Amino acid sequence: MKFIDEAKIYVKAGDGGNGVASFRREKYIPLGGPDGGDGGRGGSIYMLADRNINTLVDYRYTRKFLAPRGENGRGADCYGAAGGDITLRVPVGAVVYDASSGVQLADLPRDGMRVLLARGGKGGLGNLHFKSSTNRAPRKCTPGEAGEEFDLRLELKVLADVGLLGLPNAGKSTFIRAVSAAKPKVADYPFTTLHPNLGVVRVDENRSFVIADVPGLIAGAADGAGLGIRFLKHLQRTRALLHLVDLAPFDLEADPVKDALAIVRELEKYDPMLAARPRWLLLNKLDLIPEDERAGRIDAFLSAYRAASGFDGPCFPIAAISGEGCREITCKLMEMLENLSTAEDAVIPEK
């Protein structure tokens, strides 16, 4: 199924039914009073997060959603039926914005969350409501209220514990293949990843976390270059980042230090809070470096990178294609995520 993470839709809740002015007319019952019923409530439109859905593709082709209006009231104290509600199912992690103002209206980060998008209009009042001791034959009734309507923009932010960063061909897809059952496309040319991929990393029977691979970033991404900037939003819900660096690029003139710094700069431009998240360095493609040169290559990179960026986080040399060093990283990531959960629980105030 094609991965769609943005869509624009129009929603219109149902109008309320009109109230009616009616009088009781039955044989042998003189001076029958008012008996006009109320109109029914218009149908409302809700949105529900469903873990069985993973894309917004349904809303790319069906863009208009109209809830039914309420029925008009009738005589003999008959009220109109309410219009049926509509529930739009979206993937967990969907965010709803007002298309015109850009204001966030709803966020659905958990399965089963349900929010009201557009409220149906109230039904109008029949003349039954206007009778009194001084007005025994009211002919007044009111129309139903209009239902709410909005132009909305839907955006999907995938839910993952760990996100992968790096240039195209840094080895992100190979790494996620090595540590999970996910099978993203891998090839010897840039931009093989065209949409986010999620993989579940199982450390042991009862311990696991989710990792997300997004299309590679390039210099100038924050200004619209390349593909990765379109998908950085998917990393905003992650709790930690893995920055993969190609330590043995095919282009002999490429500088891994400059490339790594460029990724950090683009991250800071896009979202400083995301750039401040816990980040680990993975120095990939050790298998392409002679064993007697590995230590020197790693030391030279770390020395230059730390001096230029001030980075003081963990760094792990790996060969994702063979799985070398990957198991150690997943175990350490699991420990870090568990520690983060413990710290977050500790700061929650008691009720």
CATH architecture of 162-346: 3-Layer(aba) Sandwich (3.40)
Of 342, 93, 311, nearest to 212 by C-alpha is 93
Q: Which residues pair with 35 in a beta bridge?
A: none
Checking if the pLDDT of 199 tops 70, the result is yes
Quick one: pLDDT at residue 230? 62
At residue 265, φ and ψ (nearest 5 deg) are: -60, -40
Burial (CB < 10 A; 0-12, 13-18, 19+), residue 177, is buried
pLDDT in tens, 133-154: 888 889 899 999 999 999 999 9
**pLDDT tens per residue, range 65-90:** 999 999 999 988 899 999 999 999 99
Q: How many CB atoms lie within 10 A of CB 148?
A: 19
Determine which helix (DSSP H) or strand (DSSP E) holds 94, and give its type and residue range: strand 94-98
Q: State the pLDDT at residue 176.
A: 87
Averaged pLDDT of the chain: 84
CA distance linking residue 290 with residue 247, whole number of Å:
12
Give dist(CA 295, CA 270) in Å, integer: 34
Phi first, then psi: give them for residue 285, nearest 5 degrees. 70, 40
Interval 236-246 mean pLDDT: 87
Q: Is 300 helix (H, G, I), strand (E, B) or coil?
A: helix
Q: What's the fold here for domain 6-156? A: Spo0b-associated Gtp-binding Protein; Chain: A, (2.70.210)
Positions of E strands within 103-206: 104-108, 114-118, 149-156, 162-165, 197-204
Name which residue leads in pLDDT, 349 or 66: 66
Residue written as token pair 């139903």:
144
Higher pLDDT, 169 or 146: 146
Angle at 102 between CA 99 and CA 105, to 5 degrees: 85
Q: Is the confidence at residue 25, as pLDDT, over 50?
A: yes
- pTM for the model: 0.70
pLDDT of residue 11: 96
Strands 64-66 and 104-108: unpaired
Two structure tokens written together for 297: 């290559």
DSSP-based three-state secondary structure for 282: strand
Report the alpha-carbon distance of residue 335 to residue 339 in Å, rounded: 6
Give the whole-angstrom CA distance, residue 68 versus residue 163.
43
Tell me the three state secondary structure of residue 268. Answer: helix
CA distances in angstroms from 140 to 5, 125, 130, 188, 241, listed in the order given: 50, 9, 7, 77, 65
For the chain, the structural domain boundaries read 6-156, 162-346
- Name the nearest CA neighbour of 7 among 94, 81, 67: 94
pLDDT at position 220:
54
Q: Residue 13 pLDDT more than 50?
A: yes
The answer on pLDDT for 175 being more than 60 is yes
Report the alpha-carbon distance of residue 147 to residue 136 in Å, rounded.
Answer: 32
Query: Confidence class of residue 343 from pLDDT cuts 50, 70 and 90?
Result: low
Contacts of 156 (CB under 8 A, 6+ apart): 4, 5, 6, 55, 56, 90, 91, 93, 94, 95, 234
